[in-house]
Amino acid sequence: MAPGIKNTKLIRSSPYIAGKWFESASKTTFKVTDPATDKTIAELPDQTPEEIDHAIKSAYEAFKTYKHTNVYDRAKWLKNLHSLMMENQDDLARIITWENGKCLTDALGEVKYAASYFEWFAEEAKRMYGHTIQPSVPSNKVITLKQPIGVVGLLCPFNFPSAMGTRKLAPALAAGCTAVLKPDGQTPLSSLAIAYLAEQAGFPAGTINVVLTSTKNTPMVGLKFCESPLIKKISFTGSTRVGKLLMKQSSSTLKKLSMELGGNAPIVVFDDADLDLAVSQAVASKFRSLGQTCVCANRIYVQSGIYDKFADQFAEKVKSFKIGNGFEEGVTHACLVNESLIEKVEQHAQDAIDKGATALVKGGRLPELGKHFYAPTVLRDVSIGSRVLKEETFGPLAALVKFDTKEEVLEQCNDTEFGLASYVFSENLGTIWYMSENIEAGMISVNTGLFTDASMPFGGVKESGFGREGSLYGIDDYTVIKSITLGNVYR
């Protein structure tokens, strides 16, 4: 049991289908490990394709009635779920730290963030407004209705075991859709805990279904979701490579898709920026969850006038991190989820050093703490052709690059196929506007390194994907617009 869990009912070990903790007939299981200790914390059924079909069918049956539920009831269930998450926030955070490794303070922040989507969409549920339109024939009138799209398949990643699922579930349930959620095989326990609380919150059986498979079997679930005619929409958060595959696989059913894919976020710090603010926010952005977020700063461009000062202050801050087991008091940064993330950090760091970068903070593996611990690396004078500037690192490596003019840095910011988040630090309104308008990204964060919130539209452009999560727009991805023409009304 995770250290300090009080409400042990939150720890579940079976899939949740049709309002029941489902007895899987699968002959195989998969292990969930604590990345900090590498110990097995759960052994769960690796569900069969037939059981995934059963979950989809259950969601389909539930949709027939759930779509007609009173929107005020849906809002009430969503509100209840928010309250239950807040009541159990400490336990839910412990589950996140246990399965994902992030430190407890980050995990607690994630639970509040995750729960806030239920609160936000409880309110948005009542605002699925349509329009009245005057067509060209005067005696005809057009009314539009927003209706739930149907059963949705939600494919979630390991980096935010709670929040990435709730960001999808909340608008789906608010709109009147039913869902089959597939958590990452490395971090499934948080989703099961949310399913347990959703049951307490009053959601009808079959509206929320959580299926379980190993990471090895995840492509099978993806294919099932894509090819099922019963699933009308898929929302995916993960890599651009997998996003493209899902899109290809979905062509036979012409599925509506939302894709929140890879990023390669630049931070641009101008000479006139508030230096202390820029340093602390760049560190916060780069090392949130140790770099395992799609919106983390991947490239840090600093103007030549403040470059040296910025680099020194940035390095000093990183040296003050306390790295350790996420459950330990005072730990600021814990471990990564798996070893392949560390390998990528090492490859990117070595490549940049080979191309002329110097290490301000060397960093490296910390085997005395465990095999997933890595002290952050900070590099300065990273040259333009380096891999770290082209590809998402998704780990604790900070790459600093010097620039002179805003035109030059803008070109470098946009020299990527990705376009998720970007950050600008300046006190000059003209500079801020020039960069915000011209950077090719779905989200620009000005003078802050932490910007995500249920109220803001989250999503990318280019190969970072499409669709928006959260905000007043987030529900649109789960609805279809129906137009009703009232003819000859002046008879």
Provide the binding-site residues for ligand SIN, judged by CB under 6 A.
159-160, 237, 260, 293-295, 452
Cβ distance to ligand SIN smaller for residue 176 or 459: 459
User: Taking the complex as a whole, how short is the minimal distance between the CB of residue 237 and ligand SIN, in angstroms?
Assistant: 6
Which of 80, 159 has the CB closer to ligand SIN? Answer: 159
Nearest distance from C-beta of residue 164 to ligand SIN, angstroms: 7
Q: Residue 379: CA atoms inside 13 Å, Cβ hemisphere, count?
A: 28
Nearer residue to ligand SIN within complex by CB, 21 or 451: 451
> Residue 369: helix, strand or coil by DSSP?
coil
Structure token digits, residue 175: 């709109």
Which residue spans within 115-168 are E strands per DSSP?
A: 132-133, 141-148, 151-155
Query: How would you classify the pairing of strands 231-237 and 151-155?
Result: parallel
- 260 vs 476 by CB, closer to ligand SIN: 260
Selecting among 99, 119, 124, 260, the annotated active-site residue is 260
- To ligand SIN, the closest distance from the beta carbon of 456 in angstroms equals 10
8 A C-beta contact, residue 182 and residue 218: yes
Segment holding 196, helix H or strand E = helix 189-201
Instruction: Give the β-pairing of 29-33 and 40-45.
Output: antiparallel
Residue among 58 and 159 whose Cβ is closer to ligand SIN: 159
β-strand pairing of 397-403 with 265-269: unpaired
Q: Please state the closest distance from residue 263 (CB atom) to ligand SIN, in A.
A: 8
Q: What is the rounded CA–CA span in Å between residue 208 and residue 434?
A: 44
- Output the smallest distance, CB 157 to ligand SIN, in A: 7
Give the type of residue at 75. Answer: A
The answer to whether 339 touches 364, Cβ cutoff 8 Å, is no
Say how far apart CA 78 and CA 122 lie, in whole Å. 5
Task: Tell me the closest approach of the beta carbon of residue 450 to ligand SIN, in angstroms.
Answer: 8
* Beta-strand pair 443-446/421-425: parallel
| Amino acid, res. 216 | K
Known catalytic membership, residue 417: no
> Least separation, in Å, of the C-beta of 336 and ligand SIN?
14
6 three-class SS? coil
Residue 52 vs 337, nearer CB to ligand SIN: 337
Q: Which residues contact 490 (CB under 8 A, 6 or more apart)?
A: 138, 139
At a CB cut-off of 8 Å and minimum separation 6, what does 20 contact?
Answer: 205
Q: Identify the bridge partners of residue 168 per DSSP, sorted by sequence position.
A: none
Q: Which residues are catalytic?
A: 260
